[in-house]
């Protein structure tokens, strides 16, 4: 059973470009979470999704950031018009459809904005 997969592992963008981060959950998992780890800071919750639904996006910046988890395919975290402050490690986690269950993390995407 493959773990949570994220790609790309490293992404470099210039200011003003768009960044698309992909996450494929573990097999059998229907819940996806995105977390962000800014340099020298702890991980912070961004958004929680189930298939075709955003359940909680309270941790996501109001502008430029969006997330989706379509019926088919990976979950996508999209950052439009990136700025230097978006440089961080973005982690995706998944869990089975059981409340209070364990979250498994992917290797992360390290975004660098030049």
Q: Which residues lie closer than 8 Å to 67 by C-beta, 6 or more apart?
A: 34, 46, 47, 49, 54, 57, 60, 75, 76, 77, 78
Nearer to another protein, 59 or 66 (CB): 59
Pick one of 42, 62, 72, 84: the residue that binds another protein (CB under 8 A).
42
Nearer to another protein, 43 or 76 (CB): 43
Q: Is 45 in the site for another protein (CB under 8 A)?
A: yes
Site mask for another protein (CB under 8 A), range 50-89, x = bound: -----xx--x------------------------------
| Closest distance to another protein from the beta carbon of 6 (Å) | 8
| Closest distance to another protein from the beta carbon of 82 (Å) | 21
Give the DSSP per-residue string, 26-78: PTT--EEEEEEE-TTS-EEEEEEEETTEEEE-TTS-SSSEEEE--SSS-EEEE
């Amino acid at each position: 059973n493959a773990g949570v997969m994220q790609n790309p592992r490293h992404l470099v963008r210039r200011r003003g470009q768009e960044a698309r981060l992909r996450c494929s959950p573990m097999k059998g998992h229907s819940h996806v979470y995105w977390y962000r780890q800014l340099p020298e800071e702890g991980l912070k919750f961004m958004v929680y999704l189930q298939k075709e639904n955003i359940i909680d996006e309270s941790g996501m910046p109001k502008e430029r950031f969006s997330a989706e988890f379509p019926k088919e395919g990976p979950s996508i975290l999209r950052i439009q018009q990136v700025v230097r402050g978006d440089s961080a490690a973005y982690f995706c986690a998944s869990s089975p459809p059981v409340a209070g269950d364990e979250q498994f993390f992917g290797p992360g995407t390290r975004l660098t904005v030049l």
